[in-house]
Amino acid sequence: MDAHVSPSRVAGRARAPPSKSYTHRAILAAGYGGGTVVTDPLDSADPRATGRAVEAFGGAVDWVDDGDAAGDGGATAVDVEGFAGRPATPDDVIDCANSGTTMRLVTAAAGLTEGLAVLTGDDSLRSRPQGPLLEAVESLGGRAESTRRNGRAPLVVGDAMGGGSVAIPGDVSSQFVTALLMAGAVTDDGVAVDLETELKSAPYVEITREVMAAFGVDTERTDAGFRVPGGQTYAAEEYAVPGDFSSMSYLLAAGAVAAADGGSVVVEGARPSAQGDSAIVDVLDRMGADVDWDEDAGEITVRGGDLSGVEVDVGDTPDLLPTVAVLGAVADGETRIVNAEHVRYKETDRVAAMAESLEAMGAAVTERPDSLTVRGADTALSGATVHGRGDHRLVMALTVAGLVADGETTVTGAEHVDVSFPTFFDTMADLGASVSVE
């Protein structure tokens, strides 16, 4: 499915979907527990994959639709009956589809099973590295191996992993830490995670700790990394998912580059949380956008401005790279996105993909192993056909670029927004964007 975008001006109010990161963690935390209602979840492909995994481990997951989920017909709650701390051995293969978060979080959960679980996913997911997490599960007494012996799915995991200390690199994926902390809480001895390298995407571990605390599970920082005591129980009658700042970034960027004269874009649901991607507000401010965050009301207002290039470190905020790259193509001067090597290991190599796509639209870019530089002063965006590469974040960022390109922009793979923002194109159209999907 393709999205066709023409030059447009936008204004109005919009609400970004609930956080995908929080939804994943809340559903799995509820699975580790006895019974929880997760309210305001993101009802999309990736969290549904995590829900299926909870069911495979012996839980029950009911996506409840009361017909009032932001008007999109999605679920307004997830009623989870958990597996009470110890996942059962699945009857069948667990298909994580395209969800890297599901694969990694569920790998550690599978390590707790008495038998063996087999985890797989689509072509993209089967290309993503899992090796350090597999080694960690094995060092804790479980079995964890790649069927192709390349550190990538399909995976075979189980044999009742226990607690203890484990050392892993921190610069591949923070999800490895998340997975071990969540599983470690229900082991007898707990798990201490020592980081061998600097932790990238650190705010995502803080999201994990915030969710675990809401379920009554204690974690702690240590000099070497993190630790979770064992013998704990996940328990919460209800958990409410906050709004998603990664998804908000596209709406805010649209307001910054294409706000109607005298108009503004107001994004609702922006309450403070541990989400690192709330840094988009600071990025826009530093670039010169007129942006205001009313934290009490949970609203961010952004108006167009004369944007200037800045340097943005995405070490903790990898999902912002596509958005910042588009902002850089519109801004005067040079925008340098640094500390970005780990962004190459997402649904696709987002550094290379954004460089290629923006170049196709006429942007002046320089790609390095760990950085992407966009020279807005040397750029005049023109409509082109650009490829979403099966990556929801590329599709949404390139759609924003199409708002200010000369001529029509076609973004392929538009259906992949279902991963995190199923109503994205409707929301953009409601703001005034000239966009159609076919």
Indicate if 319 belongs to the active site: yes
200 assigned binding-site residue: no
Whether residue 393 is annotated as binding a ligand: the answer is yes
Sign, CA dihedral 328-332-338-344, equals: positive
Is 344 marked as binding a ligand?
A: no
Q: State yes or no: 201 annotated in a binding site.
A: yes
Residue identified by tokens 């029509």 is 408
Token duo for residue 356: 């290629």
* 19 among annotated binding-site residues: no
- Chain centroid to CA 395: 14
> Which residue is listed with tokens 């999605």?
74
Residue 346 labelled as part of a binding site: yes
25 is in an annotated binding site: yes
Determine whether the annotation assigns residue 218 to a binding site. Answer: no
- 21 marked among binding-site residues: yes
CB within 8 Å of 246: residues ≥ 6 apart: 19, 20, 21, 275, 277, 319, 320, 393, 420
- Cβ pair 403, 254 in contact under 8 A: yes
173 is in an annotated binding site: yes
Q: Binding site annotation covers 406? A: no
Q: How far is residue 55 CA from its own chain's centroid? A: 22
- Known binder of ligand: residue 100? yes
Which is the catalytic residue, given 79, 319, 426, 430? 319
Known catalytic residues are 319
Can you say which residues are annotated as belonging to the binding site for phosphoenolpyruvate? Answer: 20, 100, 128, 175, 350, 393
Can you say which residues are annotated as belonging to the binding site for 3-phosphoshikimate? Answer: 20-21, 25, 173-175, 201, 319, 346
Can you say which residues are annotated as belonging to the binding site? Answer: 20-21, 25, 100, 128, 173-175, 201, 319, 346, 350, 393
